[in-house]
Amino acid sequence: MDAQPLHTPVLLERCIDLLAPAIDSGPRVVVDATLGMGGHAEAMLERFPELHLVGLDRDTDALAIAGERLSRFGDRVDLVHTVYDGIGEALDSLGIEEIDGALFDLGVSSVQLDRAERGFAYSREAPLDMRMDQTTGATAADVIATYDERDLRRIFHQYGEERLAARYAQRIVRAREESPIETSERLVAILQEATPAALSRAGHPAKRVFQALRIEVNRELSVLEDAVPEALGRIRLGGRIVVMAYQSLEDRIVKHALQAVTRSTAPAGLPVELPEHRPEFRLLTRGAEIAGDDERAMNPRATSVRLRAAERTRGTTT
């Protein structure tokens, strides 16, 4: 499959600008922790001829597409089938101790959204799968079939921030007693029927429920909580990290992880900050950056992006 027309990388130029000072000269190593279809990776490899890229993805379809797309770069590329909290193990397997840059482009990839049979889109009829790695784990249909009403309510509220979480969970449990809920079409019909008319005009009733199911199936938040600190720990002095999040729960985790390493550890009242108390990183963005009007118009997937970045300013032994 030709990946190029299917995938427009989000904030491509901004990501490269932020990473460039760390990867633009001499042999450097960057990790694309969410490789997807390889759009960001390809652009970095083209612009920085001495760059070595390690691409991680849990999705075997994405790895196959990106592998073909990046094959012309030969041994400058290593691809690893893993969830991005496995970044440390992946680097160890390649004999790499430190990296110069790390890029995370979170959320659902183009290959997952564009293939209806993957079940990520509530607007398309498909089996309720939603696994980013289709080789392992429970599907969204399994969650719908086995979670009790309380747990369904919890994930809809916690991961989807859905105010009708209790109502939807109750209707799903009632409906599955009649017959299994195995397709997106059936789940959407249940949610639409359960949505009061006054609220149905506020947005598609399935949007937040599908988000919640996807996060639960793929353990996205717990994985992210481990992955960002793991990546930060591997970045050399002067190296940089860029993270793009697409919903508030992800962005909050990234924000807190970066705050933890960009804050002085000096005790309150200490008259002089000692070197060992200085922050390990400095923020490169003021809060979370968003895409401009032109990019949002050109690439709808950039509409909700929130970008944060940081640079290591103190080594672990300095």
Ligand-binding site membership of 160 (annotated): no
Ligand-binding site membership of 17 (annotated): no
Q: Which helix (H) or strand (E) holds 208?
A: helix 207-218
> Measured between alpha carbons, how far is residue 68 from residues 73, 94, 95 in Å?
10, 21, 24
Q: What angle, rounded to 10 degrees, do the helices at 184-194 and 207-218 form?
A: 130
Backbone angles phi, psi at 22, to 5 degrees: -95, -15
Bridge partners for 306 per DSSP: 245
298 burial class (0-12, 13-18, 19+ CB within 10 angstroms)? exposed
Ligand-binding site membership of 57 (annotated): yes
Ligand-binding site membership of 134 (annotated): no
Q: Which helix (H) or strand (E) holds 57?
A: strand 51-57
User: What are 105's two structure tokens?
Assistant: 């482009």
Q: Are 108 and 214 in contact (CB under 8 A)?
A: yes
Neighbours of 161 (CB within 10 A): 14
Ligand-binding site membership of 88 (annotated): no
Separation of alpha carbons 168 and 153, rounded Å = 8
Ligand-binding site membership of 84 (annotated): yes
State whether residue 101 is helix, strand or coil.
strand
User: What are 125's two structure tokens?
Assistant: 């009829």
Neighbours of 180 (CB within 10 A): 13
Ligand-binding site membership of 269 (annotated): no
Q: Are 207 and 151 in contact (CB under 8 A)?
A: no
Q: Are 183 and 175 in contact (CB under 8 A)?
A: no
Binding residues for S-adenosyl-L-methionine: 38-40, 57, 84, 105, 112
